[in-house]
Structure 1
Amino acid sequence: MALPTTQKQWLIQGTGKGFETLVYQDAPVPQPGDNDVLVKLQGASINYRDLIIPQGKYPFPLNLPIVAGSDGAGTVVAVGRNVTKWKPGDKVLTLFNQGHQSGAVDVKAAHTGLGGCIDGTLRQYGVFNENGVVAMPKNLDFVEAASLACAALTSWNALYGLKRLEKGQTVLVQGTGGVSLFALQFAKAAGATVIATTSTAEKAEVLKNLGADHVINYREDPNWGETARKLTPGEEGVDHIIEVGGEGTMTQSLKAIKMEGVISIIGFLGGAHPKDSILEALSHVCVIRGVYVGSRVQLEEMCKEIEKHDIHPVIDKTVFTLEKAKEAYEYMWAQKHFGKIGIKIE
């Protein structure tokens, strides 16, 4: 089958003017180099990171103008002459930092983020190095698989990248965003106890349906850190905390953490200036760790476990099409979503 020569894509032209810098345009279909694969993208997903890049609030490297989006999944339609890992017809999903293959992230790898430094996934066709994609879990569709690239891998890295989660341990997740929901599902698959925090009875019910053992309404219980600690064996505290709130939640996370436990800082939705000193890590004898997605090796490990346990991402009921991607940005910015926002690409 002959491939088209042009495609549709979303380009971030600059920053500082909000979503108005996102432009939907025609562009050439890229050609794979000797070590590349050409992927017909069929699913994508939106992250908070995608929202703050055009607003000029993203703290990591950028190379604008750039095709938006880091999360994609699709089918390989052509391969370079040196490629041996893939063949046309293979179903793959993208690696967030294309240069982060294994081990710890470094400065070089941090400059290879899709949709930030390298053209991303909000387009119909994309070229990626053969090591910049991994096999899709067979139990997921394209939109579900696309949602794994950033939020799921970040959760996996938080739970397994530094101090591996073990059966019988306790994990605390904050809220109902994509990272927290993935962490909940991964922790339950590992045989851990999960404590979740949320703000409404409706969301609490969803968290319980996903397997949360305990749910605390932080609006009703502002001292939820102590409450969480009391729910752990011997009231010793939580082994892993998925910290997404920042300024609004760190004090309580410190109250909940176990000695030698790990607080993985993944976001700062409640602000980026917590009143707690970094010396609190010493007084609580814990690790406070920033997490920046994860490596190809971790992504492959995670995908195998997703397939093994038949884990399905929580996808918001509203799935957008490619041409409606800017509406997806606005929908997420207005906090109308629950779980991951999916985009179907034709």
Structure 2
Amino acid sequence: MASTIPSRTRTYRLPKNEGIQSLVLMEGPVSQPKADEVLVKVHAVSLNYRDLLIASGIYARSFQLNITPASDMSCTIISLGSDVKGWQLGECVCASFCLDHVFGDATLETLDTALGGAVDGVLTEYRVFPAYSLARAPANLTHVEASTLPCAAVTAYNALLGPRPIAKASGAEVIITSSSNEKLELAKKLGAKHGINYKTHPEWEKEVLKITNGQGVDHVIEVGGPGTFDKSIASVRLQGNIYVIGIVAGINEVSNVPTKVLRKGINVRGVLVGPRSSFEDMNRLIEVNDVKPAVSKVFSFEQAKEAYEFLQAQKYVGKVVIQVAQD
């Protein structure tokens, strides 16, 4: 059944990059899909740490001024271009983080299609996408849950089920670190076996070694970046794996890192989210295992600034979501 196609859409933009206060809600015409495109109605958008960096003008990669922010959303198809095959009206879909990254390794060209940075993002009511950039949302998830997947989930999937597959769903024993005991308890309920409070244990790498009988872990998901890299090196086993996916701990001296990596024979891999093909593979795993993403708090579309502020306060466990339209 065809949906009514509106003529106007509300869209958030960043005319300046001076922080959360730069976010402005505007109204404009709804773009009509070209022959190879689809028009979607956005239901939910989830935020990432990257969105705070872009709003503040300090993101490491290039980004456009007056951009529509955010990369992660879940939506329904409401109009199809004349040449589009394989999609139906009303299907629930998500867009790939980099629209043109369909399979294989990222390139400079595909990175230039990153939503919410290099090109307009998804914090809007309606948007047109190339049909090839879309992945079907897992059938077991709501729009709010599915909106959490495109960046953080695909990045984690690409890290853990890339060249050397391992993950909780595959039987891994998970150790998680946090500054909050409350967050650690929730993480355990979600499947983690061990929790380490890095405020209580600043030398948390020693706790990791205790848990692993001095051997170190097989895999480290490094979200801190240079600020915590030394501790990750100390935590990983000989010839183990470190996946660098973030820089939330800030900058630190790293000139000795190559020597330490060599001494332990560590495999270090920077993870650039992942292609649409990985997104599709992950969604199948989510359906088969009935995996449910952790959602911390849901804000209304009009409360986008409050959602950003909640994210910035870092008091959450799970994803921060903006509900654009009801399911």
Q: TM-score range by the shorter chain?
A: over 0.9
Aligned to 1:13: 15
Aligned to 1:206: 186
Aligned to 2:295: 315
Q: Does 1:270 align with 2:249?
A: yes
- How far residue 335 of structure 1 moved from its aligned partner, in angstroms, is 1.8
What's the Cα RMSD here? 1.5
Q: Does 1:146 align with 2:125?
A: no
- How far residue 337 of structure 1 moved from its aligned partner, in angstroms, is 2.2
Aligned to 1:100: 101
Separation (CA, whole Å) in 2 of partners of 1:47 and 1:196: 19
Q: Tell me the amino acid that sits aligned with residue 333 of structure 1.
A: Q
Separation (CA, whole Å) in 2 of partners of 1:162 and 1:124: 37
Separation (CA, whole Å) in 1 of partners of 2:12 and 2:54: 13
TM-score, normalized by length of structure 1? 0.89
Separation (CA, whole Å) in 1 of partners of 2:229 and 2:98: 27
From 257, 270, 277, the counterpart of 2:236: 257
- The number of residues matched between the two structures is 322
5+ long unaligned stretches in structure 1: 166-186
Q: Is the 8 A contact 1:237 1:257 kept in 2?
A: yes
Aligned to 1:182: none
Aligned to 1:183: none
- How far residue 313 of structure 1 moved from its aligned partner, in angstroms, is 0.8
Percent of aligned positions that are identical: 40
Taking the TM superposition and a 5 Å limit, the aligned residue runs for 1:109-128 are: 109-128=110-129
- How far residue 247 of structure 1 moved from its aligned partner, in angstroms, is 3.7
- How far residue 54 of structure 1 moved from its aligned partner, in angstroms, is 1.9
Separation (CA, whole Å) in 2 of partners of 1:325 and 1:108: 30
Separation (CA, whole Å) in 1 of partners of 2:162 and 2:253: 25
Q: Does 1:341 align with 2:320?
A: yes
Separation (CA, whole Å) in 1 of partners of 2:245 and 2:221: 7
Aligned to 1:238: 217
Aligned to 1:168: none
Aligned to 2:262: 282
Separation (CA, whole Å) in 2 of partners of 1:335 and 1:223: 22
Separation (CA, whole Å) in 2 of partners of 1:338 and 1:205: 10
Q: Does 1:227 align with 2:207?
A: yes
Q: Is the 8 A contact 1:136 1:145 kept in 2?
A: yes
Three-state SS of the structure 1 residue aligned to 2:114 is coil
Instruction: Write the deviation string for residues 137-183 of structure 1: whole angstroms up to 9, x where unpaired.
Output: 01100011011011101111111223222xxxxxxxxxxxxxxxxxx
- How far residue 246 of structure 1 moved from its aligned partner, in angstroms, is 2.4
> CA 1:212/1:87 → structure 2, altered by over 3 Å: closer, same or farther?
same
TM-score, normalized by length of structure 2? 0.94
Q: Is the 8 A contact 2:71 2:121 kept in 1?
A: yes
Instruction: Write the deviation string for residues 38-66 of structure 1: whole angstroms up to 9, x where unpaired.
Output: 11110110111111112111111223322
Taking the TM superposition and a 5 Å limit, the aligned residue runs for 1:318-333 are: 318-333=297-312
